[in-house]
Amino acid sequence: MFNNVTIVGVGLISGSFSLALKEKGFAKHVIGVSRTKVSEQKALELGLIDEALSLEEAVKKSDFIYVAIPVDATIPVMKQIMDLVTDKQIVADAGSTKYALCDALKDHPMRQCFVATHPMWGTEYSGPEAAVHNAFSGRACVICEKEKSDKEAVEIIEKIYKELGMHLVYMDADAHDMHAAYVSHISHITSFALANTVLEKEKEEDAIFELAGGGFESTVRLAKSNPSMWAPIFMQNRENVLDVLNEHIAQLRKFKACLEKENVEYLYELMENANKIKRIIK
């Protein structure tokens, strides 16, 4: 479909996206833009990209530009891109927050070329080495402010994500950020906090390694995530994250009170209520 595609950022999301575009026949040639030569070289070695160029060179050469970098860097980079594109090009992003970016671009004369997306997939790993095949299949992809983007551009992006096996969800940017705080961002904060708790209280690393079961591993797995990616997400979505964090702390206090007061009946009630999640997540 595209002769030249540029991925801005050559890490987990963009690298996996590039692999998928090539495998599905959407891209003949993929250009990579990265902050570091090391990442560029690794992406070339792994076949994630076919060429590495500067942002300006890459944008001018491409039909489709896909941005997957930390959200604090996305806004200034996206403004540079939008100043360079023509109405024949399509731009999309993969950021975990949407309101700040959409608000920053709302009055740009090329706003219609941009499709705001968030493929709801990721792992705790980062960098070009983290890219995997068939990454997005079975996952949701949120498209925000569809009505502000060119109809044909949206249809092309929809087709790509559907071909990658994703199902599409449509939200405004505010709603996306609120829901992302509840189903994604709080999970990462909880994981970081649990890891810090264990590291603070359990000084014997061998004991952690030997005794940590599957439950602990799955709960704390996200604590291995890259801080340079997640700190900007928490700060950019601060109000929603604080809201869910306050509720989470309130729930923890309920469990704490049950133990302090030896209230086993309420403890059962809290856990049985939590079991209702089985209706939603199998």
- The C-alpha atoms of residue 82 and residue 109 are separated, in whole angstroms, by 8
Query: Is residue 188 located within the same domain as residue 71?
Result: no
Clarify whether residues 180 and 158 are in a common domain. Answer: no
Same domain, residue pair 184 and 231: yes
CATH number of the domain where residue 98 is located = 3.40.50.720
pLDDT tens string 210-230: 776 667 788 889 999 999 999
As a whole number of angstroms, the distance between CA 192 and CA 220 comes to 7
pLDDT score, position 214? 67
Length of the chain: 282
Asked if residue 168 lies in contact with residue 162, where contact means CB atoms within 8 angstroms, the answer is yes
Backbone angles phi, psi at 61, to 5 degrees: -95, -10
The answer to whether residues 105 and 200 belong to one domain is no
Residues of the chain with pLDDT under 70: 209, 212-214
The HSE-up count of residue 7 (CA atoms within 13 Å, CB side) is 31
Q: What whole-number distance in Å separates Cα of residue 94 and Cα of residue 204? A: 39
Kindly state whether residues 58 and 156 are assigned to the same domain. yes
- Cβ neighbour number for residue 10 with a 10 Å cutoff: 29
- Strands, sheet with 90-93, edge to edge from the N-terminal-most edge strand: 51-52, 27-33, 2-8, 64-67, 90-93, 114-119, 140-144, 167-171
197 and 64 in a single domain? The answer is: no
Q: What is the pLDDT of residue 201?
A: 79
CA gap 279, 240 in Å, rounded: 25
Q: What is the CATH number of the domain that holds 273?
A: 1.10.3660.10
The pLDDT, as a whole number, for residue 200 is 84
How confident is the model at residue 206, as a pLDDT? 74
| 180 and 165 housed in the same domain | no
**Domain stops at, among 142, 171, 200:** 171
User: In total, how many domains does the chain have?
Assistant: 2
Res 182: pLDDT:
96
What was the pLDDT predicted at 277?
Answer: 92
Which of 153, 171, 189 marks a domain boundary?
Answer: 171
Domain boundary among 154, 171, 188: 171
Do the beta carbons of residue 37 and residue 65 sit within 8 Å? no
Q: How would you label 79-105 residue by residue, b for 16+ Cβ within 10 Å and e otherwise?
A: eebbebbeeebbbbbbbbbbbbbbeeb
Q: Look at residue 78 in the predicted model and tell me its pLDDT.
A: 98
| Full residue range of the structural domain in which residue 238 is found | 176-279
Average pLDDT, the chain: 95
**134, 26: one domain:** yes
- Predicted local distance difference test score (pLDDT) of residue 103: 98
197 and 132 together in one domain = no
